């Protein structure tokens, strides 16, 4: 078995982002969220919007986004103000009257707080129409549907090893994890995550189950988007109070039976 320890976590790591592209993506995702709520709870979507609205009052001087005419969020300009205000505040750009075209350099921590907290705000707004466990399940379903919507068979990978270059690029860009990577065979490989900046950011909210839904649940459907033959198993996460995250990827083209490595395997993986 091949094993490699990668110490990539850097406390004050930074990355460059395009603010305009980021804001547009946020608005697209909020619109998708609202549409899903509307589809299932057409008579209650106003309660979710009111819950979001109560977070911040509408600022007529806020930067407005260019959105398609059929965007549901256009019916709620206060929400556009709410989220654009919050994001620009996180980025230290609140005093701007126009969104910069150039990339800006920010800390990865700032990026994650911005990217994850707005999703957490969306997820929490569901508590206005359902209990906590139902809100978690519903929000996870929205994440799954969004990933499936963007799935592109032309980008499917042929084998698990093809994941590695992209993983290395991600780690180099974000410097956000300490991990032990391993390959058992061509059909099974994985990662033991020892330190994770996603977890460090979300633990401040003291809501591990909803934080898991926002920051961790994504990985399962994202794995299938790399190939319908790939399956992720991961019973442990830092987010849920475990000592590590135990990612194991299985290629069903090669393995006949998907079985997660034993607890002894993970304990011995050092």
- Please report which confidence band the pLDDT of residue 257 belongs to, taking 50, 70 and 90 as the band edges: very high
- With 0-12 / 13-18 / 19 or more C-beta atoms within 10 angstroms meaning exposed / middle / buried, residue 47 is middle
> 130: number of CA atoms within 13 Å, CB side?
16
Domain ranges (residues) in the chain: 2-12+160-268, 14-150
Please, are residues 217 and 200 in contact by the beta-carbon 8 Å criterion?
no
pTM of the predicted structure, to 2 decimals: 0.92
User: Look-up: residue for tokens 């508590």?
Assistant: 127
Q: How far apart are CA 179 and CA 131, in angstroms?
A: 35
DSSP code at position 63: P
Provide CB contacts within 8 A for 251, sequence distance 6+: 159, 160, 186, 187, 188, 227, 229, 230
Q: How far apart are CA 172 and CA 178, in angstroms?
A: 12
Q: How far apart are CA 191 and CA 180, in angstroms?
A: 6
pLDDT in tens, 35-68: 999 999 999 999 999 999 887 554 554 555 555 5
């Amino acid at each position: 078995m091949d094993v490699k320890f990668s110490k990539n976590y850097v406390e004050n790591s930074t990355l460059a982002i395009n603010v305009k592209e980021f804001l547009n993506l946020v608005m697209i995702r909020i619109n998708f969220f609202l549409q899903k709520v509307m589809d299932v709870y057409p008579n209650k979507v106003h309660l979710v919007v009111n819950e979001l609205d109560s977070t911040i009052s509408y600022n007529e001087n806020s930067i407005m986004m260019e959105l398609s005419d059929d965007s549901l969020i256009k019916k709620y300009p206060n929400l556009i103000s709410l989220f654009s205000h919050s994001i620009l505040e996180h980025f230290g750009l609140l005093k701007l009257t126009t969104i910069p075209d150039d990339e800006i350099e920010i800390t990865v921590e700032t990026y994650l707080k911005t990217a994850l907290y707005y999703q957490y705000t969306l997820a929490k707004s569901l508590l206005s129409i359902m209990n906590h466990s139902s809100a978690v399940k519903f929000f996870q379903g929205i994440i799954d549907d969004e990933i499936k919507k963007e799935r592109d068979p032309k980008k499917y990978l042929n084998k698990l090893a093809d994941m590695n270059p992209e993983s290395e690029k991600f780690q180099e860009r974000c410097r956000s994890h300490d991990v032990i990577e391993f390959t058992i065979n061509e059909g099974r490989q994985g990662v033991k995550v020892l330190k994770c900046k996603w977890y460090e950011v979300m633990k401040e909210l003291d809501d591990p189950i909803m934080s898991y839904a926002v920051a961790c649940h994504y990985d399962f459907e994202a794995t299938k988007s790399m190939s319908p033959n790939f399956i992720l198993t991961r019973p442990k996460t830092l987010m849920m109070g475990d000592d590590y995250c135990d990612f194991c990827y299985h290629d069903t083209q090669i393995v006949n039976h998907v079985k997660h490595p034993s607890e002894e395997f993970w304990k011995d993986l050092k």
